[in-house]
Amino acid sequence: MKFRSVLLSVLVVMLALAGCRVAPLQQDGGETNIQVSDFGRTQNGQKVDLYTLTNANGLVAKIATYGGIVTELWVPDRNGQLGDIVLGFDNIRDYEEKSPHFGCIIGRYGNRIGNAAFMLDGKVYSLNANDGNNHLHGGLVGFEKVVWDAKPFQTSDGVGLELRYLSKDMEEGYPGNLDVTVVYTLTNANELRIDYTATTDKPTVCNLTNHSYFNLAGQGNGDILGHDLMLNAAWYTPVGATLIPTGEILNVAGTPMDFTRSTKIGARIDADMDQIRYGQGYDHNWVLNKQHNGEMTQAARVSEPTSGRVMEIWTTEPAIQFYAGNFLDGTLTGKDGKVYGHRYALCLETQHFPDSPNKSQFPTTVLRPGQTYQTTTIHTFSVQ
């Protein structure tokens, strides 16, 4: 019996060390927990549940079945005080009517498709134009505006929620019945892991991501200009005036787009550069440094000096969109009555490149019958 206890302790330590890529948060030896509560009903009468996931160290993620939205994410600071680090609303109605994609699953195609159309196998597919002449984040009723089927689970590594949605053929203009599963896991290694899987019965395009707005000082607690950001990316895809990629892939060296070393987000965010003016700050796709397609690599590291919180992002995706909250303007009141001002959060959306269906030189986002779309993104939390 004593040998089994020692062996178990060794295994726990090994798992913890394997899961923490930066200094781990203090572990308190608590128990994992899953709770479900009523989050109201949509305007068309669908019931929405809110799942609360708690890991063994006290980290908490709350996820709604509407849009798969991460409504809250509670992470300790360097003093062990929990803080909610994602922007959002207190009720379902605000998510339906006001949300700029807070915390949701984005699909069928994350980011922009130019002129709201693409050609696949010689046929042109027209999509809903919801961003000027372009198509953005899945259209008028993307995956963020539907209620997903949910199944909670618990493993030795943590707690999670499996969400499933069937996107019907020609929904928002996309061909094929797309069967999508998104699994959130809050691990005892202080990770929020997101696994995306999809299959189709007709050739289509697919590019899924999560659109959480982060502020490591706590949601609503000022802007993110003092956050330090590192992007593991030596290249980016420049855009035109409507934020559609030009098709070029440019080196970041010597430009305000260079985050290969940890840099204050506010250091060059208003630089005299067309790319910055187009997005009113950072709103671009960075090409991650990878040896092989589908390889799990570090994409980003963000730290906030006051709280000491650190977030690393690891992904199998080839790119990441860094958006600095440029279009937040103080007109939205979020959780706890907090007003969300200019650049009060940042988004780091792992993805394939924007407008890939119209750019043959970009990594393909085409999914065909018999193939499985599968990507993973891991957010790891620590302190310094």
Q: For residues 378 and 85, give the distance between their C-alpha atoms in angstroms, rounded to a whole number.
A: 16
Q: For residues 185 and 312, give the distance between their C-alpha atoms in angstroms, rounded to a whole number.
A: 16
Catalytic pick from 101, 135, 137, 211?
A: 211
Residue 318 neighbours by CB under 8 Å, 6+ apart: 287, 288, 290, 293, 352, 353, 363
**Active-site annotation holds for 211:** yes
Identify the residue whose tokens are 């895809």: 237
Catalytic pick from 101, 349, 352, 379?
A: 349
Helix (H, G, I), strand (E, B) or coil at 88: coil
**Active-site annotation holds for 295:** no
Helix (H, G, I), strand (E, B) or coil at 346: strand
Q: Within 10 Å of residue 81's Cβ, how many Cβ atoms?
A: 10
Task: Tell me, letter by letter, the H, E, C secondary structure of 144-189.
Answer: HHCECEEEEEEECCEEEEEEEEEECCCHHHCCCCEEEEEEEEEECC
Identify the residue whose tokens are 């689970």: 153
Could you give the C-alpha distances from 350 to 105, 202, 258, 354, in angstroms and in order?
12, 25, 18, 11
Q: For residues 331 and 99, give the distance between their C-alpha atoms in angstroms, rounded to a whole number.
A: 11
Which residues are the active-site residues?
A: 211, 349
